[in-house]
A and B are shown apart, each in its own frame.
Chain A
Amino acid sequence: MKLYFLSLFVIFIGTFINLFIKNERKTFVSLITMLVSSAVGMIPALNILFSGAVSEIRLSAGYPIGDIVLRMDPLSAFFLVLIYLGSIVSSIYAVDYLKKYSDNPQFSLVSFSFNLLILSMLLLVTMQNIFAFLMVWEAMSLTSFLSILLEGEKRETRRAALEYFVYMDISFVMILTGFLIMSDAMKTTEIMRFAEYFQSNSKYSSLVFILLFFGFAVKAGFVPFHNWLPKAHPASPSHVSGFMSGVMLKMGIYGIMRFSFFLDKPALSEVLTVLFVSYITALLGILYAIFEKDIKKLLAFSSIENIGIIGIGIGLFLLGKRYDNQLISLLGISGALMHSFNHSVFKPLLFFGAGSIYLKTHTRNIEKLGGILKYLPLTSYMFIAGSIAISGLPLLSGFMSELLLYFSAIEGVRSSLIQITAVSIVTIAVLAFIGTMALLCFTKVIGIMLLGARRSKEDPQMKDDMKYSLLSMIILTVIIIFVGFFPQYSILLIKQTVLHSSSSFSLSLFDSIRESLEKVSFVSFIFILIFIGIFTLRQILQKNRKKIVEKVWDCGYQRGSARMEYTGASYVEPLKNITSVLIVEKKTDIDIKEYFPHAKDIEGSREDFFEKYMINPSVKFLKRVFDMFSGIQRGSTQQYILMGMVFLIISLLILIWK
């Protein structure tokens, strides 16, 4: 734990050194800070993660905060590792990415708050005192809010930040309420001791759990609280969006996991809430991602989907706990944890890739990109690797965590209880749908953005020359590949956490999972063998032949240009026809003004179902109620006095009447 403190201290020092140096050097200092801090902090984190020990330290911080208990158990150690990993790669990435912004007035604000964001998250996962927890939680929201504002002079950036912060406030209130209810019932301020609250069979315990779930769900981006995500991510600089999406969302997951570990025998309402919300989240997330044309928004929606998948894992964990089926619940939590890890590896990778492309081309609209692969081959191939992983296709990491969830659901199908079977079959179907839709989504991204021909005319001499950003992406790609090919070893990362999550899990159960993962790994290598075989066969066959390079078939048009290429919107058109209920389309028709008009544009955009039918109307309703009272400050002194008098006399009369 001393090393952990040291690592916090390093960040603290680094942040303050950062305040006093030139903008150009800040990213380097941050990078060194993060490297040192992670190197120091990883030691206790990994130690606890692999040994399963729990270490605790108690500090006294005087009146308002009270005794601070920092407790590092495998769950917090797991998230610590995620944070350290995320902070390293995003700091590396930031070195190149932020070069362009070094004369931006918000530069030092963003760099300062990003460091503090990491610091607050590191504290968050070990904090036990609810008051301090909430403080750190708000600090996290605040610093991430500030980190978004690099391009604060843009209106949409500010709007996104505003919306984000308001959502965070709502989340904060829900968590606060939940905490206070528990702390009121248990007369304690330590989070670990809330476990007793859930075991005490209190009347409200499942309501409190659901409240907490929703509170953390706002942070994690579950539907219907997901709306801030597709706005905040595109607005923020790429290293921040990568970090936010990869790591910060997991803080919500951390909260949900922490409290689901406490549930010994969850009520059916709790299980079904978690599962149902997760299904909707995953399905809608990926559905909206498919129709998105802003690459960062698309990735944000895909984050929502992945959060939904993690949520499904947690739901299965609770389901197994409820019906005392250890295998289901063990596999479920393993899947959730592993997917958390994987997502925090491949999502930053994708964001970094998108960020690099954005830096080179200055557009995030995939309809305007195309053919990037030829200019930025390394970035693009790593982007493709990330896409394969995120679509959950075999060989790379995403498949492995989804496989664990499938295993869990299969286990559920075999169960003799019809409830479990039914839920599991729904889960399998949902996962399958998500998988295929992710495939559609990412083939669209790659096909339209990276492949084909350049769509815009201006063609800067783009080159893969950003060393630091490539380095950060390479690190992530290596992890993806390792996890994909050696799932049986990578699952050791979560072994202690899983065993920690419930008292009834046994080591042998966990080892049985490893055995089946070993086989998966074996098959992956078989695939590689077959692939190499066919590939060499093809190379041999083509060896002595002339390679004919010709233009492609274009329906008889002899001068096919990039304008004739298939667009992202048309690519997903067939699906749009099917799912038109959920996709609220908004067409902006730009009117013809002159007598001899030059061009007519129709711009289509998509509105969020929940935003349109749930959030906007309720906000509008609130506004309307408020507007009814807007006439009270009309400037007339007489009116003011009249109102006061009416209030006074009415209350007087009521008082006397009684």
Chain B
Amino acid sequence: MYYGLLVLFALTVIYFSVTSRLRAYVNALAAQGVILFLIVLVNMKETNFQSVILILIETIGFKTILIPYILNKIIYQNEASREIDAGLSNFFSILAMIAIFSFGFILSFWTKEVLEYSNPFHFGVAFSSIIAGMYIILTKKRLITHIMGYMVFENGIFLFSLTLLKEMPLIVNLGVLLELFMIIFVSGFFVTKIKESYNDDNIDNLTDLRD
């Protein structure tokens, strides 16, 4: 079950490289929220009502419902449905994702003794997700995709904190979520603005400020 969920999470990440449809990305993000919730539930040792509620809000409330809603709205406003063709084909993206995951797993098994964590597979998925989020940001062209890549990055960190930490203090968790929400909100605002100014939300437009 636990491993299955991790594999599923990894698949949602890889899904990003398979498709170019923005809605599909949003759906993948929503799915990740659900998977994360389940992973936490499975992992939880003593059931604590307060923290279950918190996790529920955190994963389902924010990650599955609120943020995808905002993202969908932005996509709707911007009349964009597909990622712009980047120089890299999907085939290559899949290869890269596989490479990232392999690297993550190799690293996690290699550093098992050094970093003293219990589950190298979990660590590998988390680490790879972080890098995959970065990879999405670095290769995709649309700003909105960048925001989603950032979300993947954040989810990876969330997963990461699960492997290493028993739990985050409440206040930090809440703060993190609030921040995440605000960032998405503000970024969404800017994406809309940029779309207005440039007729496009291609990242290549934003290279005027340079030296």
> How far is it, in angstroms, between the C-alpha of A381 and the C-alpha of B207 when the chains are bound?
67
Give the Cβ gap from B95 to chain A, nearest Cβ, in Å: 18
Q: For the complex, is A645 an interface residue (Cβ under 8 Å from B)?
A: yes
How many positions in chain A have a CB within 8 Å of any CB in the partner chain? 11
Counting CB contacts under 8 A, is A587 at the interface?
A: no
Expressed in whole angstroms, the minimum distance between the Cβ of B126 and any Cβ of chain A is 15
Residues in A neighbouring B146, C-beta threshold 8 A = 637
Report yes or no: B111 in contact with A641, Cβ–Cβ below 8 A.
Answer: no
With A638-B203, A642-B138, A645-B134 known as contacts, the answer to whether A633 contacts B111 (CB < 8 A) is: no
* Contact (Cβ within 8 A) B137 A636: no
The docked-state distance in angstroms from the alpha carbon of A607 to that of B95 is 61
CB distance from B140 to the nearest CB of A (A): 9
Q: Which residues of B195-211 are within 8 A (CB) of A? A: 203-204, 206-211
Residue of B nearest to A653 (CB): B107
For A641, list chain B residues within 8 Å (CB). 134, 137-138
Chain B residues, Cβ within 8 Å of A630: 211
Query: A637 with B134: in contact, given A630-B211, A656-B111, A656-B114 (CB under 8 Å)?
Result: no
CA distance A636 to B134 in the complex (A): 15
Interface 1/0s, chain B 133-156, versus A by CB < 8 A?
010011100000010000000000
Q: Which of B115, B138, B208, B210 contacts A638 (CB 8 A)?
A: B138
In the bound complex, CA of A491 to CA of B211 (Å): 61
Whether A635 contacts B111 by the Cβ 8 Å rule is no
Contact flags (1/0) for A507-523 with B, using CB distance below 8 Å? Answer: 00000000000000000
B210 with A634: CB separation less than 8 A: yes
Using CB atoms, name the residue of chain B closest to A644. Answer: B134
Q: Which of A590-642 contact B (CB under 8 A)?
A: 630, 633-638, 641-642
Q: How far is it, in angstroms, between the C-alpha of A637 and the C-alpha of B194 when the chains are bound?
A: 15
Assess whether B211 is in contact with A638, with CB atoms less than 8 Å apart. Answer: no
For A637, what are the chain B residues with a Cβ–Cβ distance below 8 Å? Answer: 146, 203, 206
Chain A residues with Cβ below 8 Å from B206 are 635, 637
With A641-B134, A642-B138 given, is the CB distance from A635 to B208 under 8 Å? Answer: yes
> Whole-angstrom distance between the alpha carbons of A645 and B207 in the complex?
20
Q: Which residues of B contact A634 (CB under 8 A)?
A: 207, 210
A-chain residues with CB within 8 Å of residue B207 when the two chains form the complex: 634-636
A386 to chain B, nearest CB (A): 51
CB distance from B114 to the nearest CB of A (A): 6
Expressed in whole angstroms, the Cα–Cα distance for A638 and B209 within the complex equals: 14
For the complex, what is the distance from the CA of A635 to the CA of B206, rounded to whole Å?
A: 7
Q: Find out whether the CB atom of A633 lies under 8 angstroms from the CB atom of B114.
A: no
A636 to chain B: which residues have CB within 8 Å?
203-204, 207
With a cutoff of 8 Å between Cβ atoms, the chain B residues found around residue A642 in the complex are 138
- Residues on A with C-beta less than 8 A from B138 are 638, 641-642, 645
Cβ contacts A to B, 13 pairs, < 8 Å: A630-B211, A633-B210, A633-B211, A635-B206, A635-B208, A636-B204, A636-B207, A638-B138, A641-B134, A641-B137, A645-B134, A645-B138, A656-B114
- Nearest 5 interchain pairs by C-beta: A635-B210, A635-B207, A633-B211, A638-B138, A634-B210
Binding site for B on A (CB under 8 A): 630, 633-638, 641-642, 645, 656
A633-B210, A638-B138, A656-B115 are known contacts; what are 9 more A-B pairs with Cβ within 8 Å?
A634-B207, A634-B210, A635-B207, A638-B137, A638-B139, A638-B203, A641-B138, A645-B138, A656-B114
